[in-house]
């Protein structure tokens, strides 16, 4: 056992010496392998990134929540009415649908500007909310308090501020108790939302200000009867499919839709969003997977080629070593060690390259990237596999050379 270990150490030492002696050739193999590993790194990292994003979305959305949008999103382009959800709908759902514990109508006004002193910031959205915004959206407050029933009932001029505008207007100081202008409406800040920072599709989520829904409707002249979306929370998330079907048939009844009519609303659940994301992930996996596989196979063939060359060029060395007492196994081990050594160095460079590429893709907002030990382990495993797979044949050929043949072959 100890002897075997010592033998392996010595063989590895010889492999290192040979790799260094033929360093130009080694560099080619390293480069070829590095490209393959780089693409593998990007794939694993971006798939992990997509998965993390999916988890964040579900977390934000809540597994117990259905999201009802006015209008059928599939045919919205045709110019269908999107304002189909009324306060009456919300009230009836709350009263009649079993398992519902919260119904939150949502309204929003896009493109508002907030002012404080001489500072200003344009925000993509001002959200109208009923009592308990933080609870409903699973979005903790960094400080201050949430909207109360009373705030909503009397249309109080109060607001929750998102993390980005809070920093923009107040720097590191607390915004609590200060009065800012939302367009022309002065409101007092009663709470600051925690930083959420999910980037990606759509505008950054932290760029927002939240007002009581009544305040938003009255002060910004929005339609008082209809709203754009409705958030419904159920007490047992296990039966979401069942609840969603109930919700659908209730809404169809409330909207007086005949059996053949299309829904004039759209129900989204976390599950549905996940379905979309896993489709996206599948596409990513296929596309990048093929790219990486091709790159790795190319790298493998470069390795195999240069090793065949190496074996024929180093016949004398092989014959000599056998004459001096090397067993076939020792020769095989040396050539495999050389192959795996090179692919491991290639993996190292490939990971560095891949991380660089990943960071670039992330900066260009093409993909979200998550680096982990998984990337490292996959890369190393792939490198060893390539080394063994493509190095085995040339190494076997070298080991099988009879000493006298190898010595003669000069």
Partner 1 sequence: MSGAEALIRLEGMTKTYLQGELTVEVLKGIDLQIAAGEFVALQGPSGSGKSTLMHLLGLLDRPSAGRYWLQGEDVAGLGDDRLSELRNRLIGFLFQTFYLVPYLSALENVVLPGLYSPGSARHLRHRAEELLVQVGLGDRLHFKPTQLSGGQQQRVALARALVNDPQVLLADEPTGQLDSATSAEIMELIASIHRQGRTVVLVTHDAPTAACAERSIFLQDGRVVHA
Contact positions vs partner 1 (CB under 8 A):
3, 6-7, 10, 13-14, 17-18, 20-22, 316-317, 320-330, 402-404, 407, 410
Quote the least distance from Cβ 398 to partner 1, whole Å: 14
Q: Which is nearer to partner 1, 194 or 320 (CB)?
A: 320
Quote the least distance from Cβ 329 to partner 1, whole Å: 8
- What are the DSSP E strand ranges found in 157-228? 158-161, 179-182, 185-193, 208-212, 226-227
Quote the least distance from Cβ 388 to partner 1, whole Å: 22
Alpha-carbon distance of 224 to 217, in angstroms, equals: 6
Q: Which is nearer to partner 1, 173 or 323 (CB)?
A: 323
Torsion of CA 321, 323, 329, 330, to 10 degrees: -30
Quote the least distance from Cβ 318 to partner 1, whole Å: 10
Quote the least distance from Cβ 410 to partner 1, whole Å: 7
Q: Which is nearer to partner 1, 17 or 241 (CB)?
A: 17
Q: Which is nearer to partner 1, 17 or 360 (CB)?
A: 17
Quote the least distance from Cβ 409 to partner 1, whole Å: 12
Residue closest to 262 by CA, chosen among 69, 74, 68, 97:
74
For the chain, the maximum distance between any two Cα atoms, rounded to a whole number of angstroms, is: 101
β-partners of residue 119 are 116
Alpha-carbon distance of 152 to 141, in angstroms, equals: 18
Alpha-carbon distance of 96 to 100, in angstroms, equals: 9
Q: Which residues of 163-192 are buried (b: 16+ CB within 10 A; e: fewer)?
A: bbbbbbbbeeeebbeeebebeebebebbbb
Contact 11, 331 (CB under 8 A): no
Quote the least distance from Cβ 387 to partner 1, whole Å: 21
Q: Which is nearer to partner 1, 83 or 309 (CB)?
A: 309
Q: Which is nearer to partner 1, 12 or 380 (CB)?
A: 12
Alpha-carbon distance of 108 to 34, in angstroms, equals: 50
Strand 141-144, strand 229-234: pairing? unpaired
């Amino acid at each position: 056992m100890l002897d075997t270990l010592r033998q392996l150490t010595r063989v590895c030492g010889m492999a290192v010496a040979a790799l260094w002696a033929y360093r130009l050739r080694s560099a080619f193999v390293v480069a070829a392998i590095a490209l393959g590993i780089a693409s593998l790194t990007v794939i694993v990292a971006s798939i992990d990134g997509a998965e993390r994003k999916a988890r964040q979305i579900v977390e934000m959305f809540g597994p117990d929540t259905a999201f009802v949008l006015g209008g059928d999103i599939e045919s919205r382009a045709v110019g269908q009415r999107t304002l189909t959800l009324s306060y009456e709908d919300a009230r009836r759902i709350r009263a009649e649908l079993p398992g519902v514990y919260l119904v939150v109508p949502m309204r929003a006004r896009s493109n508002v500007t907030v002012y404080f002193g001489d500072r200003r910031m344009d925000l993509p959205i001002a959200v109208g909310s009923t009592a308990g915004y933080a609870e409903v959206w699973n979005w903790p407050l960094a400080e201050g308090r949430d909207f109360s029933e009373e705030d909503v009932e009397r249309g109080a001029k109060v607001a929750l501020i998102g993390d980005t505008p809070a920093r923009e207007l107040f720097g590191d100081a607390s915004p609590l108790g200060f009065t800012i202008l939302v367009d022309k409406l002065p409101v007092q800040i009663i709470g600051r939302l925690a930083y959420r920072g999910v980037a990606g599709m759509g505008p950054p989520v932290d760029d927002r200000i939240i007002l009581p829904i009544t305040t938003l409707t009255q002060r910004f002249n929005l339609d008082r009867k209809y709203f754009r979306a409705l958030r419904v929370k159920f007490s047992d998330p296990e039966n979401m499919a069942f609840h969603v079907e109930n919700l659908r048939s209730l809404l169809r009844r409330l909207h007086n839709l005949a059996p053949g009519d299309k829904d004039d609303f759209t129900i989204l659940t976390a599950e549905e969003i996940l379905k979309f994301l896993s489709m996206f992930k599948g596409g990513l996996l296929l596309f990048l997977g093929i790219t990486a596989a091709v790159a790795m196979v190319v790298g493998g063939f470069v390795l195999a080629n240069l090793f065949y060359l190496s074996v024929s060029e180093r016949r004398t060395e092989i014959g000599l070593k056998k004459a001096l007492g090397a067993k076939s196994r020792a020769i095989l081990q040396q050539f495999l060690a050389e192959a795996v050594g090179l692919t491991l160095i290639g993996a190292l460079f490939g990971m560095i390259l891949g991380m660089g590429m990943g960071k670039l893709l992330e900066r260009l907002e093409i993909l979200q990237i998550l680096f982990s030990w998984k990337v490292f382990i996959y890369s190393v495993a792939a490198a060893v596999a390539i080394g063994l797979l493509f190095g085995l044949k040339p190494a076997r050929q070298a080991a099988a050379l009879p000493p006298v043949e190898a010595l003669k072959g000069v």
